[in-house]
Amino acid sequence: SSDLGYYRSITFNRAFATFTHPNVYAFYLTMLLPMAILIFPQTKNRAKKIFLGALIAAMGASLVLTFTRGAWISFICAALALGFLRSKKTVMLILLVIIALALLMPSIALRFSDLSGTAYDGTDSLRWRLNLWRQTFEYFLSRPVLGYGLGSFYALSSAASSEYAPAHNDYLRLALETGIAGLGAYLFLLYLLTRDALRIYKRLNPAYSRAIALGFFSLCVAYILIGMADNLMRSTVVQLYFWTFAAIMFNVGRMETGTARPGLVTSIK
């Protein structure tokens, strides 16, 4: 059940704001936070910088309060990737913050203690997901090349169980529905996006533009990881922000050729 922006699971009251589920809210925050953090030092206007700093703090607190393990892990991995690219000190700072949060908020450690459950309940247990992934993989093996067709996971899952549950793995669901051909095309697309983000980051000189390119690279890291254990492709708001940031990043990359629209990326400076 839910009440005043909190989703009540068996163990936790999880923040979900105006979204339908805490996981969706957490993934939305994971899309925004890295970009906001990287843009913050490059923002020159004092009022905008104060506002952005307050927004980052609020989003960070909200991400913790969603109690979404996948988003936590993906955000940490994205932050570590940024740290290795920009500053090793950042990596140490991230690790210290993680340790501090674990010590100050026992509920964070408790959130990982229910992974041995077997039922699909408010805790989304790991064992339940592994069983679902095994069933999905078995379906995939019966039609590995082209799959069963887009949207077929719902029909197959509903036929196998009295209660439909999402795949909780975008790659397995895509493999079942589109086969190796579709999954391969999707993985290649993600590879191109991640590669181009790094290329644009290394090629550009303006710090603000580099921050946007690096921010999108971190989004790619988080996006790829979250897709391994959840349903990002079914989340309209996450897809909207991800592909909008992709367009902005490529627009930044074209600025050197004079073919971009600078107004798209300079308005918050």
**pLDDT number for residue 83:** 85
pLDDT, average across residues 96-101: 80
Q: What is the pLDDT of residues 17-42, one digit of tens each?
A: 989 889 999 999 999 999 999 999 99
Tell me which of 65-69, 158-162, 214-218, 236-240 is least confident. Answer: 158-162
Distances (CA, A) of 201 to 105, 122, 194, 257: 36, 40, 11, 15
pTM of the complete model: 0.86
Decide if pLDDT at 150 tops 70: yes
Q: Where are the alpha helices (DSSP H) in 66-169?
A: 69-86, 88-104, 106-111, 126-142, 152-160
Q: What is the pLDDT of residues 247-262, one digit of tens each?
A: 999 998 887 556 555 5
Q: What is the pLDDT of residues 196-229, one digit of tens each?
A: 999 999 988 888 889 999 999 999 999 999 999 9
Retrieve residue 116's tokens.
Answer: 């041995």
**pLDDT number for residue 3:** 44
SS3 8: strand
Mean residue pLDDT of the chain comes to 85
Domain that holds residue 10: 2-266
Burial of 159 (0-12, 13-18, 19+ CB in 10 A): exposed
The tally of domains found in the chain comes to 1
Decide if pLDDT at 108 tops 90: no
DSSP, res 148: S
